[in-house]
Amino acid sequence: MAELVVKIPEDIGIELGKIPKEDWQLLFSRFLRRELEEIREVESIVSKSKLTEEQAKELADEVSLAIAKRLLKIEK
């Protein structure tokens, strides 16, 4: 089994300190599996895309701008 050393923010360390050390491996294994699955799903979607990288960036910028405008409208 591989070993991984991770630096975590202090606030997360405080929360992690509330969990028995014996459960840390299970916690991190589950977290990493979920995150890796999400990355695989995104890669699968992206691999099927016909957009160029530039088109994808432009679309992402448009979506971000639309969301920002909507949030600013809500806050007023």
Give this prediction's pTM. Answer: 0.55
Whether 8 and 16 have beta carbons less than 8 Å apart is answered as yes
pLDDT tens digits along 2-60: 888 889 999 999 999 999 988 988 999 999 999 999 999 989 988 888 888 899 899 99
The answer to the question of residue 3 being in a domain is no
Is 47 within a domain?
yes
pLDDT tens, position by position, 54-63? 998 999 999 9
26, part of any domain: yes
Residue 35 lies in a domain: yes
Nearest 5°: phi and psi at 14? Answer: -65, -45
Is 45 inside a domain boundary?
yes
Q: CA-to-CA distance for 36 and 30, rounded, in angstroms?
A: 10
Range of the domain at 34: 10-75
* Count of the separate structural domains present in the chain: 1
Residue 5 lies in a domain: no
2, part of any domain: no
